[in-house]
Amino acid sequence: METGRSGEVIVVGGGVIGLTTAIVLAESGRRVRVWTREPVERTTSAVAGALWWPYRIEPAASARAWALTSFDVYEELATRPGRTGVRMVEGVQGGATLEETEAWALGRALGLRAATAEECPGGGLWARLPLIDMPAHLRWLRERFTAAGGTVETRTVTDLAEAKAPVVVNCTGLGARDLVPDTSVRPVRGQLVVVENPGIRTWLVSTGADGEMAYFFPQPGRLLLGGTAVEDEWSLVPDPAVAEAIVRRCAAWRPEIAGARVLEHRTGLRPARGTVRLEREPLSDGRVLVHNYGHGGAGVTVAWGCAQEAAGLAASW
């Protein structure tokens, strides 16, 4: 039995939450293994946009703290965009206001300014924020983790009891619905259209009067268009009608998008929950289970803050 291995940790889940948590633990001197059902590049995290912004996540106060911790990490990683996949990019957050945003941004120099009516009808906020190229970033996270002595194993887990390490960290996202089990974890389906970038260098996020989202994120060699947030929808098959609507909404903002060649369609299931579950659960055999899941559409935004807190919960074993 492996419980005798002093300090060993198994992190179940190989998305951005699992990898960042594993990195913090490994770089603190722990022996860490990551068990992931899918290769890192095929996890739900790989589908994300991924713009740093607290989105559909509770509790709000904790989420802001986690997000600000993560912002500091991404700002540093953005000094090496070619390696880390992180860049600081300017764009408009539709509907945001200086008053609301400055209350939690704590004076960080994000280049905040109100958008004019011409720039964003209905109001919005210009900001310079971390924008992450997720396939590149996930590869870099895995490399950083293995450089710290960690190992990644592709393995399907049907019961958390399979992980026999002294400390197990549950970063399974939507998988926690069955593994914990926790039926409060629900899918929120997102669909993206990836097109050739017609020269757009800024990002935009906006929600129309009908409640439909439109966003576009310039990534190296492509432009990501979104989006959708359909609760309790499990299908990962791209819907052509939804894709057409996404392109149409984005082209209403930048007409050149309408003629851009489509490269790819992506779908993913955000692991939503009423509140993030980030807590320590002592097991009857003396081992420790740390839960870190339920981040909805803000996993990238809060990853490093949650990783540090989860590592702290694991450290007291």
Q: pLDDT tens digits, residue range 199-224?
A: 999 999 998 777 889 999 999 999 99
DSSP string for residues in 46-89: GG---B-S--S-SSHHHHHHHHHHHHHHHHHHTTSHHHH-EEEE
User: On the CB side of 279, how many CA atoms lie within 13 Å of its CA?
Assistant: 7
What is the C-alpha separation between 227 and 213, in angstroms, rounded?
Answer: 6
What pLDDT score was predicted for residue 48? 87
Helices (H), 60-219: 60-77, 81-84, 98-105, 134-147, 176-179
The answer to the question of residue 218 being in a domain is: no
How many domains in the chain? Answer: 1
What pLDDT score was predicted for residue 288? 96
Helices (H), the chain: 16-27, 60-77, 81-84, 98-105, 134-147, 176-179, 240-253, 299-315
What pLDDT score was predicted for residue 106? 52
Among 268, 276, 293, which residue's Cα sits nearest to residue 11?
293
What pLDDT score was predicted for residue 108? 63
The answer to the question of residue 216 being in a domain is: no
Domain containing 154: what range? 1-85+133-185+273-317
Among 192, 174, 82, which residue's Cα sits nearest to residue 133?
82
- Tokens standing for residue 43: 């996890």
The answer to the question of residue 266 being in a domain is: no
What residues are designated binding site for FAD? 44-45, 172, 296-301
Q: Which residues, given as ranges, of the chain have pLDDT below 50?
A: 1-5
Q: Tell me the CATH number at 2.
A: 3.40.50.720
The answer to the question of residue 29 being in a domain is: yes
What pLDDT score was predicted for residue 107? 55
The answer to the question of residue 41 being in a domain is: yes
Residue 195: CB atoms within 10 A of its CB come to 22
The answer to the question of residue 128 being in a domain is: no
pLDDT tens, residue by residue, 252-308: 999 999 999 999 999 999 999 999 999 999 999 999 999 999 999 999 999 999 999
The answer to the question of residue 1 being in a domain is: yes
The answer to the question of residue 20 being in a domain is: yes
Mean residue pLDDT across the chain: 93
What residues are designated binding site for D-dopa? 215, 270, 297
What residues are designated binding site? 44-45, 172, 215, 270, 296-301
Q: How many residues are recorded in the chain?
A: 317
Q: What's the pTM?
A: 0.94
